[in-house]
Structure formats: C-alpha cells, structure tokens
A and B are shown apart, each in its own frame.
Chain A
Amino acid sequence: MKEIPLQTEVKPAKRLKAASLAKTRKRSDYFWAYLMIAPTMLGLAIFYLWPIIQNFYFSFTEWGSFGQYEWTGLDNYKRMLEDATLLQSFKNTGIYIIFTVPIGIFLSIIIAVLLNQNIKGKSVYRTLYFLPVITMPAAIAMVWKWLYNADYGLLNYLLSLIGIKGPQWVTDPHIALYSVIAVAIWSGIGYNMVIFLSGLQGIPKMYYEAAEIDGAGPVTVFFKITLPLLSPVIFFVTIMSLIGAFQVFDLIFMMIGKGSTALESTQSIVYLFYQHAFVLNDKGYAAAIAVLLLIVILIITAIQMVLQKKWVHYD
C-alpha cells in the first residue's frame, strides 16, 4: 500500500530513476518481509521469548496458595545445593541418557544398514519398525507397564518358560530405570533408523564398489566407509537424541508414577520440575530447576559442537 505514493514521488532526473526504483523496491521488500514474519515473530515473542524472561524472574520467587508469590532472591538456588532429590534426578537422567542415546543410535544404524541391503520385504520391515514412532508415549508406557507386570505380565511368563524368575521390572528401584530405558530405546529405533537410512542412501555407490575391488569384508566396509560417511547424520541424531533424552517425562510419569517404590530412583529432572510446578505448587523452585536444565543442556550442546570436529567428516 505504501509504495504507491512513493512511486509518484519519483521524478525527472533519469539517472536517479534506477536508483530510486531500487530504493522503492527495497521499501516494498521490507514491508513484505516484516508482514510475513510478523505473525510468527509475535507469537514466538508472546508465548516463548517473553516466558523465558519471566521464568528467570519466577526462579527468584516463592509461591503460596492459589497463585500468590513473593521475591526471595537466591533462595531457590541455594536450596538446590542441598537438595538430594534433585541430585538424584540428575543422576537418573544421566544414566537414562548414557544408555538410551548410544544404544539407540547403535541399534538403529545396524537396522538401517541391514535394510539398505538388497533384500526382499524392505518396506514391510520399515513399516513395522516405524510403528512405535507414531504411537503416543502414554499408550506405549501403559502397554509396557503391563508387559512388565511382575506377577501377571507376559515378559516374566516368557522368562519363566526358560526357567528364569523375572524381576519386578517397574517397581524394583534397582531395575525400574533400566526398564524405562529399554522402552525408550524400543520406541526410538524407528525414528532414527529412517533418518540413517536416508543418510545411507546418500552415500555414493562408488565407494562400496571400490571397497569390493580391494576385497574388503563387510565389517571393514562398515567401519571404514559407512560410519565415516554417515558421521554428519550421526552427529545430528546424537544432538537431537541428547536434547530429547534430557527432557524425558511421559514414560516415567505413566510407567512409574507417584506411589511407586521406584520413583526416587527413576524420576527425571523434568519429572521433578513437573512435581514442583504442578503437584507441590512450588513454582518458584520449579522455575529454578528449569533454568538449571537450560544451562546444562547448553553446556552439553557446546561440548558436542567442539568434540564434533574430531569425529565428524564433512565432504
């Protein structure tokens, strides 16, 4: 709309005309650009950016009943230093990450490599492995909790057939976390597999042909060719899995739950955040936990960025 009057202002001097035309065009560019980014930027500002700032503020407050709060300075952060439960939840999350990320990536690479071979029924396999990806975590958690049931679950029955007395998968504090980890890996394989598969298909055939001529075995080919050429994808998946694993909540919320004996040894940082924010109504402390989580994720991502130079090969 604005450009129309502007255009009429463009006057005689012919040499200037081109320049001012470009200028008008620029004005119109700006107008369109701002208009086009406006909805998203406004939405992000209102619902995401402003809340980030507010969360920092909340982390210095203490909350009472029904939404009243007061400034308490660094109290929440001081409290963190002595909070054994918080420390435990970091430990739990750490264990969860250490197992789910590498094992999940390893298994999905294997499956992807196998599916990249010249075999029949590829698309059927691909579909089946992808099933957990489209299933909601709440349902996944529920069916696994049932499979894991110590007395009446299918898993312990199958184990009993080969003479093993199965453990209490989700209530034994020493085991429950690993049971959750297994489910997380199970449900994540399909997703990563698809990404790796498309990465594998991007590797030029000539590398493999060359290797074949050199007489390299499949294991050598995997380590010398496939892995290095896949490393940018592996890096990307690692970062995404790490961030995702840091925020595990659904599985623990649905599989373990409040009254369980295994809660302390399984609750993740985000579970603890949820507890403080929405169950115990300890919102200030919850905000502080969120800040801590942010800092930890930023540090880990930064470390990854530095380390990647050592092992990721870009063409």
Chain B
Amino acid sequence: MQRTKQLVTSKTFLIHFILIVGAVAMVLPFLWMILTSLKTYQESIHVPPVFIPEEFQWGNYKEVFGLLPFFKFMYNTVIITLLRTVGQLFLCSLAAYAFARIEFPGRNVLFLLALTVLMVPGQVFLLPQYMIMVKLGWLNTLSAVVVPGLFSAFGTFLLRQFFMGLPKELEEAARLDGCNHFQIYWKIMLPLAKPGLIALGIFTTLWSWNELMWPMIVNSSPESMTLSVGLSSLQGQYLTNYPILMAGSFLAILPMLILFIFLQRQFIEGIAVTGGK
C-alpha cells in the first residue's frame, strides 16, 4: 500500500518535472522578448546579459509607433482578419450545406474541383493571383488580401463533414413546415454546426493574423501593410537593434494573446476539431 502510493507520487512528480521543463522552454522566449524590449541597446548587447533593465525603456515602444504606423498595421490586420473570418464562415457554410444536404447534378464534380484547391500548395496559384491583383488595380489595398481570403476549400470541406453528420429527420420536418433550403440552413443547420463554425473561425483568424508571404507581396505601402509584414519591414529598418525589434514583436502578438486569454477554451477545442474529425 505504502509502496504503491510512493510509486504514484514519484510518477506524478516525474510527469510534472517533464511538463515544467517543457513549459519553461515554451515561455522563456516570450519573457526574453518582453525583457529585451525594455532595455537600452547597450544593455541588450552587454556580456554577461543584463536580465532586468536598470530603467524600463518605454521609449522603445514609442519609437516603434513613431517610425512605422503601427496602429495602422494593427487596424489593417484586424479588418482583414475580421472580414475574412466572417466572410469564410458565411460563404463556406453555405456551400458546405449544399454539398452535404442537397442532391444536385454535378455535385461530385464540383466538390472534387473544390478539393483540388485543397490539394495544391499555395505557391502554385500565388503568381497568377498576383497578376490578377495587378490587373484589378488592387495592389496596396486591403481588398488584395481580403477578397481571395473569403473563399476557402478547406472551410467548405471541414463544414461539409459537419453537416453530413447531422440526422436527416431534422430537415424533413422543416420541409414539411414549408421551409426552403436557406431557412433550413440558417435556422436549423447553422446552430447545430456551431463547433465546426468555431473551429473554422479560430483557424481562419489565426491564419489571417499571422500570414506573411501574400500580404508582403501585394501590400508594400505602410498604409495597407499587416502586422506580419510590418515586422519584416521593421527588421529591414533596424537590422539587429533588438530592443526595438522585440518591442515591435511584442506589440504585434499582443492582440492575439489577449484574444487567446479570453477565448482559451474555444481556441483549443477549435484546433482539436480541425484535426480530429
């Protein structure tokens, strides 16, 4: 009895030990980012390192805001993320409902076409997409990032799986009541597909917030830059002035961090859904 208890505690101890080591590795870079962002340049390259800056250099943050329109970047990123997420949730669920619950000629062919997009690596459509943006005169506008981002094969696929899993009786009843398909979709199916919608929403939000290559290609003017691109531009300006770079980095991740703290459960469950089912 005594022995098993000891065994259990030492096992728990081992688990905690491993998990804590890992957790430190996860958190340390973020701590270092914040600490560095408050140092003078001299402190940052001091050997041995200065851990806690003598005086917090809030001026580093001011400098980031002063030289690049960081608020503008933040605004752009929020708008892009919001429009893309809402747009995808609506358009993908609409298409997914039709693919999952209505039989119509060409359904399989069309769905296969959508799946093709899912299979192809993004680089394959990048160049022509860029040329389309050039022709439409959308370079340096938010539309260049928002509009192609409204349509998602992945989202359609994910939500279709969800709608397929719902029982048939639900809509039969509604149809007898004289509901049309849009009403069934809107009133009955959407509420039931909530976990799927949350999953897609989280996924799209993270993706739009963090994406680098496409916004960097189409939006080079500070007016339309996103935070990711702003960071790469900051690195171009400040080369290796890490206090400034770290201040910029921290500012760039802060909004998502706050959102995550409030919606932790949804984030984690949402991601689990995109992978699991």
Contact = CB atoms under 8 A, between A and B. Distances in A.
Touching chains A and B, CB distance < 8 Å: yes
Interface in B1-50: 12, 15-16, 18-19, 22-23, 25-27, 29-30, 32-33, 36, 44-49
A163 interface: no
Contacts of B256: 134-136
Contacts of A134: 206, 253, 256-257, 260, 267
Contacts of A58: 127-128
Nearest to A191: B271
Contacts of A194: 268, 271-272, 275
Interface in B52-95: 91-92, 94-95
A228 interface: no
A109 interface: no
Contact of B275 (A51, A198, A286): A198
A233 interface: yes
Nearest to A111: B22
A142 B235 contact: yes
B268 A126 contact: yes
Contacts of A40: 91-92, 94-95, 114, 151-152, 156
A143 B127 contact: no
Contacts of A132: 26
Instruction: Say which size band chain B's interface belongs to.
Output: 35 or more
Contacts of A146: 32-33, 36, 242, 245-246
A54 B129 CA distance: 9
Interface string A42-78: 0111111111101100100000000100000000000
A45 B19 CA distance: 47
Contacts of A147: 29, 32
B15 A117 contact: yes
Nearest to A114: B15
B252 A138 contact: yes
A283 B275 CA distance: 35
A130 interface: yes
A198 B242 CA distance: 39
A136 B209 contact: yes
A277 interface: yes
Contacts of A149: 240, 242
Interface in B110-153: 110, 113-114, 116-117, 119-132, 134, 147-148, 150-153
Contact of A294 (B103, B121, B152): B121
B237 interface: no
A51 B130 CA distance: 9
Contacts of A130: 260, 267-268
Contact of A243 (B91, B121, B235): B121
Nearest to A30: B104
Given A40-B91, A43-B150, A51 B128 contact: yes
A133 B206 contact: yes
Nearest to B44: A152
Contacts of B49: 152, 154, 157
A136 B126 contact: no
